[in-house]
Structure 1
Amino acid sequence: MRPCLTPDLRAKLRESAERTARSGEPDHEALTDFRKSGLPATAVPAGYGGAGGDGREINRVVEELATVNPSVAIIAFQHFAVSSRIAEWGTEQQKSDLLPLLADGTYLAASAWSETGAGAAKQNLSSTGTRRADGGWELNGAKSFTTGVSIADLYLVLVQTGRPDEGARRTYGAAGQTFFLVTADTSGVVPDLSLDLAGMRGSATGFVSMERCVVPDGNRLGPEGRAPEIIAGVRTSGATLGAVAVGAAQAAFDLAVDHAERRGLTERPTVRHRLVDLATRLESARAIVERAGARVSADPGTTTLHSKLYASTAAEEICLGVARMLGSAGYVTSSRLNLLLADARAVALMGPTNDLARELVALTWQS
């Protein structure tokens, strides 16, 4: 059955967005509703209790969530991304143990890749994984800007397990890096929500540290030392953060239309034309996100990068255009538009950041 955002959940998540914008903390009640909604099953294969959604379906669900609550949308995006990576790279044991829990919302998943000093391309990791005599691993280090800290039940953690390849420095990730699946209740895992972000304030984005965190080799996802191959597969799936940006832009555009109609401004051709220009920009962003999800281009990975670049840039510009239309009505702290603008700006900073995405696209011309 195709997961959908019900009117009741839509209303609850919109109210949650306003609360978390003030508090800067995740809304556990709203996240419980999300867990029970059936939406967490979107990216899990049908054979494991999921909906079997592809990149296009993931983007659709993420966009719908982002129109009412971008913070929950980014949590969902990360959950879908980890679910997809387990479905693609996991062992049969990992799939049977984890995917049903991810599908029914018992587990929410998060990615823990970034860390201070690693760079946008994640090539200078200081977090490590050391093989133990019993065949397991000891993980040590700290991860930053991890979405879902304290609310995730499962982290996909990127660490250095071998020597980096100095000759391959123009990729996302580096040789000698390995992914591990680490549950939040594992000894040595410590969440830290001390970050106070301007946007995505309900996304529980913060730090997570690992101190003498011991996991069995069965928690390793994919081949040892070959994490960049898994990272590259994320892009070719067609799932894109551009969907979050499109959802935020749609919400901002809806505010503009409502403002114009309530004040009778749609009688003016200049106002109507400004709305049409905004709508055209929005539809262009949505179109490239849909193209990425459909994976119809010769190079779907590059299309996914383009979709994130264009949609995030367009979303910020659409929000600014709406702000000009609203005038003083949008220049108060209680205006939802200000929250959407901050959320749209945040998408450009999420991995791969827009600057890194530009570099990755440029590399395709040089190969």
Structure 2
Amino acid sequence: MKPRLGPELHQLLHASAEKTAAAGEPDREALAALRVSGLLATAVPRAHGGEGGDATEINRVTAEIAAADPSLAIIAFQHFAVSARISEWGTEEQKRALLPRLADGSVLAASSWSELGAGAAKQNLSSTGERRSDGGWVLRGAKTFTTGAAVADLYLVLVSTGGSVAGEQAVYGAAGQTFFLVAADNPGLVPDLGLNLAGMRGSATGLVTLDDCVVSDGDRLGPEGHAASIIAGVRESGATLGAVSAGIAQAAFDLALAHAGARGLLELATVRHRLVDLATRLETVRAAVERAGARTAADPGLATLHSKLYATSAAEEICLDVARMLGSAGYRAAGSADRLLADARGVGLMGPTNDLCRELVALSWTA
């Protein structure tokens, strides 16, 4: 299939990854290029100006971006996820107002679910949404590990709105939680890029404070108290963060191949065979991600979880092997295997974290 990322954009994003690894903040030029590239339209239906891409296409585009800049791939993946949730759960008014702008890049979306003390499964949220007498809501609390903080124009925020919801049971999220779409220019939403991450340093992952953040009921996404059902549907979609790991693994393999070729090492059978072994593992990562996106498994949700678990661990191993292969050459630039290894490790800590993925898979055996 023809790559969606042209060579000029790939080169720009690759240069961005090298700069942001040192600076620890997103590259605004690369973000601007991503916005106008047309790639952000991937998950938006054609009826609303998008590409109408399914999970397979979302994973493929995410992997291509990740091969150039993993941090921007995480930002794009979150944008795709919010776009898909609005397409699936949004009101007609929300779709008309937001989807065309999400498609053309004028609005960049981010998810703001996590917070300190809530646990990986987001079951103990302290952030709240309280209904006002005029029918609107006031949101209060603090969110952490929000990818795209301070660069997004729209945040999908998860808060507890209280009460029990009949039939709403979940192992990720909890009954009585609700999603709201909050614009970045809402005076009650205050982002902060205070997190200094070891990997994914250009992902704008930071904090979001909800300081008496007033929104209308029209900003609510999906039924009140039923956020857990929306979260469960994310896994069933087949879109997987394993695609980011696939892109990272590809970048590491390309680095090793270029290193061997530049030094005439491909004449050595031992080097060639070592590279073939890396390429085979890379192909297996791709297969796991493609299987999740195709949704051909008996349980698509489990396939998505397995794809993240396998792709993240395999990508980390590939990056480590490449770093060993390069030796001292791997430490000469921020864009080398050292950065890719840190980024690969970072994907495993992003939601659902790998430990939560393992627990979700294990629970399926006793369900």
Q: Which runs of 5 or more structure 2 residues have no equivalent in the other structure?
A: none
Which residue does the alignment assign to 2:156?
156
**How far 1:335 moved relative to its partner?**
5.0
Larger CA deviation: 23-32 vs 353-362: 23-32
The 5 A counterparts of 1:122-201 are 122-163=122-163, 171-201=171-201
1:57 matched residue in structure 2? 57
> How many pairs align?
366
The separation in 2 between residues aligned to 1:66 and 1:17, in whole angstroms, is 10
Equivalent position amino acid for 1:193 in 2: L
Residue aligned with 1:26, SS = coil
- AA aligned to 1:105 is G
| Runs of at least 5 residues in structure 1 that lack an aligned partner in the other structure | none
Structural mapping, 1:224-243, within 5 Å = 224-243=224-243
Answer whether contact 1:3 1:39 (CA < 8 A) is retained.
Answer: no
Partner of 2:84: 84
User: 8 Å contact 1:329–1:335 — kept in the other structure?
Assistant: no
Q: What is the CA deviation profile of residues 149-197 of structure 1, one whole-angstrom value per residue up to 9, with x for unaligned ones?
A: 01000000000001368x9886000000000000000121101111111
**% same residue:** 70
Q: 1:40-88 CA deviation, whole Å, 9 max, x = no partner?
A: 1000000000000000000000000000000110000000000000000
Q: Distance in 2 between matches of 1:184 and 1:97?
A: 15
Q: Distance in 2 between matches of 1:33 and 1:366?
A: 47
Match of 1:361 in 2: 361
Which letter maps to 1:158?
L
The alignment partner of 2:365 has SS state of: helix
SS in 1 for 2:33: helix
Query: 1:270 maps to which residue?
Result: 270
Counterparts of 1:218 and 1:100 in 2: how far apart (Å)?
18
The TM-score normalised by the length of structure 2 is: 0.97
Matched, 1:215 2:212: no
For 1:322, the aligned partner's letter is V
Matched to 2:300, the amino acid is P
Q: Which amino acid aligns with 1:296?
A: T
Range 13-22 or range 328-337, more displaced: 328-337
Note the alpha carbon deviations across 1:91-137, whole angstroms, 9 max, x for none.
Answer: 00000000001000000000000000000000000000001101110
Query: Any conservation in 2 of the 1:82–1:109 contact (CA below 8 Å)?
Result: yes
Q: Is the 8 A contact 2:20 2:202 kept in 1?
A: yes
**What is the distance in 2 between the residues matched to 1:31 and 1:55?**
23
| Range that drifts further, 51-60 or 155-164 | 155-164
State the AA in 1 paired with 2:292: A
Determine the C-alpha separation between the residues in 1 that align with 2:213 and 2:203.
25
Which TM-score applies when normalising by structure 1? 0.97
Give the structure 1 partner of residue 106 of structure 2: 106
CA distance in 2, matches of 1:267, 1:12: 32
